[in-house]
A and B are shown apart, each in its own frame.
Chain A
Amino acid sequence: QSALTQPASVSGSPGQSITISCTGTSSDVGSYNLVSWYQQHPGKAPKLMIYEGSKRPSGVSNRFSGSKSGNTASLTISGLQAEDEADYYCCSYAGSSTPWVFGGGTKLTVL
């Protein structure tokens, strides 16, 4: 199972919106509406931001939203804030034999 494809880096200014893409295949992202997104600050554990493609856990800002089209999922962060600067990883369920596959991660820089 190959890793999902994410851009290595994205950047934006405070208040702007950015979108991070996550491209998989018809065996993972395309087959299941089970993409999740994680935020990771340096030296910290990952934090769940989006699950099942577009759902937000309790406590996660509504500035974070998720979507999917075909084999590509996307995370959009609106109204960028300095504290959003972090690494972001997508993850998709990929079937019972190898249940999960992660993306390579995207470093978000808030300019």
Chain B
Amino acid sequence: EVQLVESGGGLVKPGGSLRLSCAASGFTFSSYSMNWVRQAPGKGLEWVSSISSSSSYIYYADSVKGRFTISRDNAKNSLYLQMNSLRAEDTAVYYCARDPGGAARFFDYWGQGTLVTVSS
């Protein structure tokens, strides 16, 4: 069974940093692209960042470019999101999501999410 479990969320002050993790199991992690998608309270989904299976290709939404860094450790079946210079508007539930990569472009499995709150 495919499982994605996020962790690392919490309360952080504006300008602070946080590192999110996503532990994957039930599939060959190194064969899939992975993504972070966030959802502000009461709002819609927003794609944040993507990383290809071998970390060769990395993309960011303009809203987080230069502040967030996505990475992965295929040996540990884990995905990460380092978030720096956090702003109030980064407050959201952060989901990790798998996509098959290649010609396939969709998110077939999602984690349960971890809440990040940026507030003084």
Contact = CB atoms under 8 A, between A and B. Distances in A.
Partners in one complex: yes
Interface of A: 1, 3, 32, 34, 36, 38, 40, 45-48, 51-52, 57, 89, 91, 93, 96-105
Nearest to A57: B108
Nearest to B97: A46
Ranked nearest first, the 6 interchain pairs of A and B with the lowest CB-CB distance are A93-B105, A36-B106, A51-B106, A100-B47, A105-B44, A45-B110
A102 B46 contact: yes
Contacts of B46: 102
Given A48-B109, A98-B62, A102-B47, 20 more contacts: A3-B44, A34-B106, A36-B105, A36-B106, A38-B107, A45-B111, A46-B107, A46-B110, A48-B106, A51-B108, A52-B105, A57-B108, A91-B47, A91-B107, A98-B59, A99-B59, A102-B37, A102-B44, A102-B46, A104-B44
A83 to B, nearest CB: 19
A102 to B, nearest CB: 5
B38 to A, nearest CB: 10
Contacts, number: 64
Interface string B41-57: 00011110010000000
B109 to A, nearest CB: 8
A98 B46 CA distance: 12
Interface string B92-104: 0001010000001
Interface of B: 35, 37, 44-47, 50, 59, 61-62, 95, 97, 104-113
Nearest to A6: B44
B59 A97 contact: yes
A104 B40 CA distance: 12
A68 B50 CA distance: 25
B55 to A, nearest CB: 15
A81 B112 CA distance: 25
